């Protein structure tokens, strides 16, 4: 499986929920401050089952369960 670079998603959607197109796992089809807002926008755009993900406001390094 090829790694997916989500740098552009992080830069544009920091701190928000995003709905990502299931077929390519790269295209944002909805976004919002809440999970419901992002999902509703995806549904309005014709995507019934997007991948839902929260984009962190700040990237943190973690090793196992410990954040540095």
In a domain, 42, yes or no: yes
Q: Give the 3-state secondary structure of residue 54.
A: strand
Whole-angstrom distance between the N-terminal and C-terminal Cα of the chain? 28
The total domain count for the chain is: 1
Q: Which H or E element spans position 43?
A: helix 35-44
Q: What is the pLDDT of residues 11-44, one digit of tens each?
A: 999 999 999 999 999 999 999 999 999 999 999 9
pLDDT at 4: 85
Average pLDDT over residues 37-66: 90
Task: Please state the pTM of the whole predicted model.
Answer: 0.83
In a domain, 49, yes or no: yes
Q: What is the mean pLDDT of the chain?
A: 91
In a domain, 2, yes or no: no
In a domain, 1, yes or no: no
In a domain, 36, yes or no: yes
- Where in the sequence is the domain holding 31, given as residue range(s)? 7-67
Cα separation of 21 and 68, whole Å? 32
In a domain, 50, yes or no: yes
pLDDT at 6: 87
Q: Which H or E element spans position 67?
A: strand 66-67
């Amino acid at each position: 499986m090829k790694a997916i670079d989500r740098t552009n998603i992080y830069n544009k959607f920091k701190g928000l929920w995003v709905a990502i197109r299931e077929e390519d796992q790269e295209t944002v089809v909805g976004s919002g401050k809440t999970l419901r807002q992002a999902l509703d926008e995806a549904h309005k755009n014709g995507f019934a089952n997007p991948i839902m993900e929260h984009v962190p406001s700040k990237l943190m390094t973690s090793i196992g369960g410990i954040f540095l």
